[in-house]
């Protein structure tokens, strides 16, 4: 999800589409939060890994 966020950010910047920029930021933040929780060993929604 972090990779998807970065790709959306780059595409939004290069193509000048603000909704891609916004979705990229959201995907990046959610992906980072889930990765952090997974790295700490906390189960996310009952699973140790979100993927």
pLDDT at site 43: 73
In a domain, 12, yes or no: yes
Tokens of 24: 């990229």
pLDDT at site 47: 66
d(CA 14, CA 8): 10
Write out the residue range of the structural domain in which residue 4 sits: 1-25
pLDDT at site 39: 80
Tokens of 20: 């891609």
In a domain, 36, yes or no: no
In a domain, 20, yes or no: yes
In a domain, 33, yes or no: no
Per-residue pLDDT in tens (0 to 9) along the chain, 51 residues: 889 999 999 999 999 999 999 999 999 999 998 888 878 777 776 666 555
In a domain, 40, yes or no: no
Q: Tally the domains of the chain.
A: 1
């Amino acid at each position: 999800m972090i990779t998807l966020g970065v790709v959306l950010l780059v595409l939004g910047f290069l193509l000048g589409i603000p909704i891609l920029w916004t979705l990229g930021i959201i995907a990046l933040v959610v992906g980072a939060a889930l990765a952090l929780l997974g790295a700490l060993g906390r189960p996310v929604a009952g699973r140790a890994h979100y993927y």
